Amino acid sequence: MAEEGADLILLDVCETVSDRVGYPMANKDELNETASLVHSAGRRSVVRVADVRDVEALKEAVDGGLEAFGHIDVACANAGLISYGLGWELTEEDWETIIDVNLRGVWNTMRAVVPPMIAARSGSIICTSSAAGLRGMGSMSHYSAAKFGVVGLAKSFAIELADHNVRVNVVHPTGVKSFMTESDDPFAAALFERYPDLVIPTGINLMRTDGFIDPVDVSNAMVWLASDEARFVTGIQLPVDAGYSTKP
């Protein structure tokens, strides 16, 4: 988005929010690296360390962006995390952490950005769901429930905000290459050792047999949804999944 001319509010919690999540989460150095990449593209950034579960922290970040830039045109509700377990074996913490970050975090993000977008009578909100928000997946019922919930939330907001010229859409990525997907998750390993049939098989996608797409593939879809080229696109679900949702 910076390469396409956007100034950005960059926000992340920059810490591990649960010891039940078995991979390393992003840190402040990586957030600052992102800001450096924005600046190298010739754009400005407002950087905040905040938890999407804290709506007041998100509103403070939005206020900082409004003070710096004067308006907010686009919001990407992209923060999320995953853990693994059979649905009846999940702990209360497993359930609450995933639902709170992946679903309530999206709601909080929209609550923070909608008022200035309504005031401007313009905006594009892009929510990240998942291929698991299109099809149920074994070992991640809490994650899938949250990602399906994102769809209902976004479609409802699309209806409510249409008269204000604010668009709301959902992107459904398949697995994306990152330090998260490249890390060894001990909780997932232990579960899949007990139940090997739950392992998501390599080659689940029609077009990428290694099971992963690149981050830029998702970014490109978000840039299009943010742009005037999609000015009458609202309430849709856009899979960026290399055909996963189509494959039998």
Task: Respond yes or no: is residue 195 known to be catalytic.
Answer: no
Contacts with 107 (C-beta within 8 Å, 6 or more apart), sequence order: 153
Q: Name the token pair of 87.
A: 């649905």
From the candidates 23, 143, 195, 244, which is the catalytic residue?
143
Place of tokens 């999609």: 230
Q: Which residues are tagged catalytic?
A: 143
